[in-house]
Amino acid sequence: MIEVEQLRKQYGELTAVDGVSFTARPGEIFGLLGPNGAGKTTTIGCISGLLQPTAGRVRVMGHDVVRDGTAARQALGVVPQEIALYEDLSAVENLKYWGGAQGLRNPLLGERIRQVLELTGLEDRGADQVKRFSGGMKRRLNFACGIVHQPQVLLLDEPTVGVDPQSRVRLLELVRAQARAGACVLYTTHYMEEAETLCDRLAIVDRGKVIAAGTLAELRSMLEQRDLLRLSGVFQPAAAREAVAPINHIEVLQAEENLMVLSLAEASRKLPAIFAALEAAGADVRGTTLTQPSLESLFIKLTGKELRE
């Protein structure tokens, strides 16, 4: 279990994490979703004991990470964002080293190495040097090094960045398997689709703060089943806002010279009225994208910007 209470981390004047609180339970995958620079990696750093929190408290399996750091780290497995492997060593040698760092000894270490190599599909490549691996294989081995000691709590910091689709599917399945085995998994990502398909519960973070949290269903309900309509072209922002305002239950999320983002129910039925109003306001609509309610639309609704910005 991970318990984070009012966590704050400051670097001089910059507040990277500002009052973040959440609890992740055993057997569940808890997602931290947010754009780059939102404070996800800093939060992971504080949970893993790498960074000293400025304020607040973090407990891992009941152990305070500041006061009882060694016990907390014994329960932790971390899969870092970068591929933290020795490329001149073989896969087995890497696993021996990282397993040894976690305190595993033979024969248990040997048995666990065999298991994780099989789990990650690298059983035939154990003796090969890592520098001969593809990017996806390195990612899988990076994951294997994080779980070789069967951690109770697993921290995954954007583990699928730069991974090919096949390896991504395989990695996500590995993460699910860890949760099914009873591990508490904290997963950070800026990929909305990953968070939607993988996480049992989520916290959406932006600029160091949690702006929404709950299960996927709870978060979707915040959108009230409203669609997201994205229009590209040439607009006079103020005039365009005024023109669409009379249309029932429409909310303008974003109005710029070349982009308008609207939130509304049953958008497909209201498209003709919207186009007519915008044309009357002198707008030239060149493209239209209609999106069903999703985490991305929730993020845009809450922050007024896209997740990948």
Interface with another protein (CB under 8 A):
45, 48-51, 70, 73-74, 76, 78, 80, 82-89, 93, 96-98, 100-103, 105, 129, 145
Nearer to another protein, 43 or 102 (CB): 102
Quote the CA–CA distance of 193 and 166 in Å, as a whole number.
Answer: 15
Nearer to another protein, 66 or 281 (CB): 66
Nearer to another protein, 79 or 210 (CB): 79
At 208, give phi and psi (nearest 5°).
85, 0
Quote the CA–CA distance of 141 and 147 in Å, as a whole number.
Answer: 10
b/e for 75-107, b at 16 or more Cβ within 10 A? Answer: bbbbbbbebebeeeebbbbbbbebbeebebeee
Nearer to another protein, 49 or 293 (CB): 49
CB of 304 closer than 8 Å to CB of 254: yes
Nearer to another protein, 72 or 300 (CB): 72
Nearest distance, CB of residue 13 and another protein, angstroms:
19
Which string of DSSP letters, residue by residue, matches 36-102? Answer: TTSSHHHHHHHHHTSS--SEEEEEETTEETTTTHHHHHHHEEEE-SS----TTSBHHHHHHHHHHHT
Nearest distance, CB of residue 150 and another protein, angstroms:
14
Nearest distance, CB of residue 129 and another protein, angstroms:
7
Nearest distance, CB of residue 93 and another protein, angstroms:
6
Quote the CA–CA distance of 77 and 299 in Å, as a whole number.
Answer: 29
Nearest distance, CB of residue 177 and another protein, angstroms:
22
Quote the CA–CA distance of 27 and 183 in Å, as a whole number.
Answer: 5
Nearer to another protein, 106 or 289 (CB): 106
Nearest distance, CB of residue 257 and another protein, angstroms:
41
Quote the CA–CA distance of 32 and 307 in Å, as a whole number.
Answer: 13
CB of 5 closer than 8 Å to CB of 27: no
Structure tokens, 94: 């890497």
Nearest distance, CB of residue 151 and another protein, angstroms:
10
Closest by alpha carbon to 145, among 200, 90, 72, 68? 90
Nearer to another protein, 66 or 302 (CB): 66
